[in-house]
Amino acid sequence: MAELAVDKHVKYILAVEKNKDSFESVVMDPLRMNGAYWGLTALDLLGKLDSVNVDEVISWILKCQHESGGFSGNIGHDPHILYTLSAVQVLALFNKLDVLDIDKVATYITRLQNEDGSFSGDMWGEVDTRFSYIAICCLSILCCLGKINVEKAVSYILSCKNLDGGFGCTPGGESHAGQIFCCVGALALTGSLHYVDKDLLGWWLCERQVKSGGLNGRPEKLPDVCYSWWVLSSLIMIDRVHWIDKEKLVKFILDCQDVENGGISDRPDDAVDVYHTYFGVAGLSLLNYPGLKAIDPAYALPVDVVNRIFFSG
């Protein structure tokens, strides 16, 4: 079996950020905050976070904050709950949450909760269970979960549960591994996992593994490295990860590496990108791959970062 090309991946991640004229950099411009989270968290899991200039990153993040308290994907763009979580997660990586006006950020998120307990992504009102997870995760990191109506938030998530045990983006929406991670993660962070039918959901999730060892996001779809995170983390949170073949999944992820230039792709021999590089590394971390830091399946941050937030001081 191939080995993880750590040094090549570190070089690739750092190059993506430095080369502002590359195709990948240009198309990611409006969501650079997400890209920063993917790249920097991957570097931390690889033990190489000290390769970046912390002050430069923090300064840029703060320039992306709006009067409302929310963060945008890059300077000059509109704020959104998605980018707000990424900004908070990156600041947590660097142990710099103290640069934030925490009440201001928490108020921005709190105002996005709707009467039925759901969350909008921004002022335009799109509703999705992704935003429920993001709100709960972000407020939990900031130790402000009590600022929202948690009971209503949980109730809305449960209204999106399907007969197959999975969850959709809104009530009646098709079960999808990405949405399942968001809903299970939100339920885990609010102490509500007892509402999940773990055997039924575990069966749906373990059926996502295909012959190559990779995981797909829903039935009849191709495997994709990113589901190494969405499916695995959900299985771990409901204690059913032993239902898949971990060794075959490790091999699939490693086969998606560009061992010459670094980076990980969605499937073997496809073009690499920072998104799949992060989720490939995160998936390997969940699989206890040697040499990687452990990642928390609910917070999507290294375990030592989560412990520092809640147990230091």
Looking at residue 2, its pLDDT comes to 84
Looking at residue 29, its pLDDT comes to 77
Domain boundary assignment for the chain: 6-311
Identify whether the C-beta of residue 237 lies closer than 8 Å to the C-beta of residue 298: yes
Mean pLDDT of the chain: 96
H/E/C letters for each residue in the chain? Answer: CCCCCHHHHHHHHHHHHHCCCCHHHHHCHHHHHHHHHHHHHHHHHCCCHHHCCHHHHHHHHHHCECCCCCEECCCCCCECHHHHHHHHHHHHHCCCHHHCCHHHHHHHHHCCECCCCCEECCCCCCECHHHHHHHHHHHHHCCCHHHCCHHHHHHHHHHCECCCCCECCCCCCCCCHHHHHHHHHHHHHCCCHHHCCHHHHHHHHHCCECCCCCECCCCCCCCCCCHHHHHHHHHHHCCCHHHCCHHHHHHHHHHCECCCCCCEECCCCCCEEHHHHHHHHHHHHHCCCCCCCCECCCCCCEHHHHHHHHHCC
Specify the pTM.
0.96
Looking at residue 31, its pLDDT comes to 85
Identify whether the C-beta of residue 156 lies closer than 8 Å to the C-beta of residue 132: yes
List the structure tokens of 37: 């989270």
Helix axes of 246-255 and 274-286: crossing angle, nearest 10 degrees = 150
For residue 175, name the pLDDT band (cuts at 50, 70, 90).
very high
What digits encode the pLDDT tens for the residues 139-159? 999 999 999 999 999 999 999
Residue 48, φ and ψ in degrees, nearest 5: -125, 25
Instruction: Calculate mean pLDDT across residues 26-37.
Output: 83
What digits encode the pLDDT tens for the residues 267-290? 999 999 999 999 999 999 999 999
What digits encode the pLDDT tens for the residues 62-92? 999 999 999 999 999 999 999 999 999 999 9
Which residues contact residue 222 at a Cβ distance below 8 angstroms, ignoring those fewer than 6 apart?
210, 216, 267
What digits encode the pLDDT tens for the residues 176-224? 999 999 999 999 999 999 999 999 999 999 999 999 999 999 999 999 9
List the structure tokens of 128: 């999705």
CA–CA gap between residue 245 and residue 248 (Å, rounded): 6
Looking at residue 18, its pLDDT comes to 75
Looking at residue 20, its pLDDT comes to 65
Q: Is the pLDDT of residue 293 over 70?
A: yes
Q: To the nearest whole percent, how much of the chain has pLDDT over 70?
A: 97
CA–CA gap between residue 251 and residue 257 (Å, rounded): 10
Instruction: Calculate mean pLDDT across residues 250-266.
Output: 97
Looking at residue 55, its pLDDT comes to 96
For residue 22, name the pLDDT band (cuts at 50, 70, 90).
low
Instruction: Calculate mean pLDDT across residues 38-53.
Output: 97
CA nearest 33: which of 13, 12, 57, 66? 57
Residue 215, φ and ψ in degrees, nearest 5: -115, 145
Q: Is the pLDDT of residue 26 over 90?
A: no
Higher pLDDT, 311 or 171: 171
Fold of the domain built from segment(s) 6-311: Glycosyltransferase (1.50.10)
C-alpha to C-alpha distances, 110 to 21, 222, 261, 304, nearest whole angstrom: 37, 37, 43, 27
Q: Is the pLDDT of residue 291 over 90?
A: yes
Q: Is the pLDDT of residue 299 over 90?
A: yes
Other Cβ atoms closer than 10 A to 226? 21
Looking at residue 24, its pLDDT comes to 64
Looking at residue 16, its pLDDT comes to 87
